A and B are shown apart, each in its own frame.
Chain A
């Protein structure tokens, strides 16, 4: 059975390989579940019914899906043992009911908190390298993306394994185990906030006398003031979107340069 679990784990990385607008991750889900169904359903008819059952709409966070397919696999095993038809509805119901809440946990936890945290940490490392390595920065710069990838994926891979383990161990009750670990998100968010602030200060420390001071004000003392203005401008107009901010900053910079020339 270990081989089947490993196969399912490897296949979980292909969950969105055939993502489509009609039923989203359904093919990926069936593809992950197939080795397990091959093992538990010995007659072709039952296996076919199980596969058709999982061809419906399915969408959740790709990492959290590991928990869900483990739960569904446990239920399928139960069904294969007692053949109760009532379990059909139960399996589909649990799958559909849990997909949304799991996505609501996964998206802000992994993509909304963890990823920005690790990215900010990598950027902080890069800025520290710039400050302290100076001339030899080029030699060590490649460590920055490596730190990002290793740092993120240690958490990512461990989470996927843990979620799959929890799903197989606790079955339907896994959700309560997951919700007990909700303290993790504020910790990551606080950590991310602190790292982002530190990175910003290091940035200001390094570039306090960048060429922009001479171009905008002509005196270096106003450099920090300019940074604060840009920072507040970005906060206030962030609702207008990244594209607006990107192009408006460039246009404003060009206009100021033009007026000075």
Chain B
């Protein structure tokens, strides 16, 4: 249990770093990272399905300017991890995991904003270094920035996977039958919601049919 949490927290932090800190190769996108976590945990189908839902729903989550969007890789990785760990292959449990992962992602966003504020201090440290011709500070700052980014993600994943997992499994077992049936319906309906959002996102469709909406 402990080893696997460390392993998946490492994968999660590596994928989530791609959002802003390094590369933007889109390994942070749910369709990729949820599938990979699902593959390692022995249920790639659930990972893909969760990835599809989150990818379609948050298709327009773009880090633009000062906007820090919710980390969709965190939502997809956490929900895939929880469902594969506690209720492997149960569709209803996967939707419930998604429901619970969203608040965790919003919580992490606040931590991320604090981290970015701390980067300002490092930036001033580099600026002073350049004025004194100490250029090593620039290299150090880049690596320290990346390390801190990875560290806060890793620690958050550890916390969310363990504590969140306990909350998730405990709550799911308490759910009434009608809620479980509702979650099962949502499993099939959420992709439709996602498709609607994607189609609306492509402006061409909006111009043709939904200009007034």
Residues of A participating in the B interface, judged by any CB pair closer than 8 Å: 13-14, 16-24, 26-28, 30-31, 34, 44, 48, 51-52, 55, 59, 62-63, 103, 107, 111-113, 115-116, 119-120, 122-123, 126, 137-138, 141-142, 144-145, 148-149, 152-153, 156, 186, 189-190, 192-193, 196-197, 199-200, 203, 207, 210-212, 215-216, 226-227, 230-232, 234-236, 238, 242-243, 245-247, 249-258, 261
Contacts and interface: CB of A to CB of B under 8 A. Distances in A.
Given A210-B188, A235-B213, A153 B25 contact: yes
Contact of A253 (B45, B142, B186): B186
A51 B138 CA distance: 11
Given A246-B102, A249-B190, A112 B119 contact: no
Interface string B107-119: 0000000001101
A17 B146 CA distance: 6
A142 to B, nearest CB: 6
Contact of A19 (B20, B126, B186, B203): B20
Interface of B: 20-27, 29, 31-32, 35-36, 39, 44-45, 48, 51-52, 55-60, 62, 64-66, 95, 98-99, 102, 116-117, 119-120, 122-123, 126-127, 130-131, 133, 135, 138-139, 141-142, 145-146, 149, 177-179, 181-186, 188-193, 195-205, 210, 213
A210 B99 CA distance: 22
Contacts of A186: 204
Contacts of A210: 188
Contacts of A31: 138-139, 142
B188 A197 contact: no
Interface residue SS majority, chain A: helix
Contact of B178 (A22, A252, A254): A254
Nearest to B131: A52
Given A247-B99, A249-B189, 8 more contacts: A18-B119, A123-B55, A141-B45, A215-B181, A231-B192, A253-B189, A254-B179, A257-B178
A143 to B, nearest CB: 10
Contacts of B142: 14, 17-18, 27-28, 31
Contacts of A51: 130, 135
The 8 closest A-B CB pairs, nearest first, are A254-B182, A234-B196, A253-B182, A257-B181, A18-B145, A20-B119, A258-B178, A253-B185
A141 B65 contact: no
B109 to A, nearest CB: 13
A119 B35 CA distance: 13
Contact of A249 (B22, B62, B193): B193
Contacts, number: 249
Nearest to A127: B52
B138 A27 contact: yes
B203 A189 contact: yes
Given A142-B35, A258-B178, A63 B24 contact: yes
Given A16-B20, A148-B29, A126 B95 contact: no
Given A152-B26, A245-B193, A211 B184 contact: yes
Contact of A144 (B48, B178, B191, B200): B48
B26 A148 contact: yes
Contacts of B133: 44, 48
21 contacts: A16-B24, A17-B146, A18-B119, A21-B117, A44-B133, A107-B62, A115-B26, A119-B56, A120-B198, A123-B55, A138-B44, A186-B204, A212-B185, A215-B181, A216-B185, A230-B193, A234-B196, A242-B197, A246-B193, A249-B186, A253-B186
B199 A193 contact: yes
Contacts of B213: 235-236
Given A18-B123, A231-B195, A112 B139 contact: no
B197 A21 contact: no
Given A22-B123, A52-B130, A238 B145 contact: no
A31 B142 CA distance: 8
A59 B200 CA distance: 28
Given A30-B138, A153-B26, A235-B200, A255 B182 contact: yes
A223 B60 CA distance: 28
Nearest to A251: B182
B129 to A, nearest CB: 10
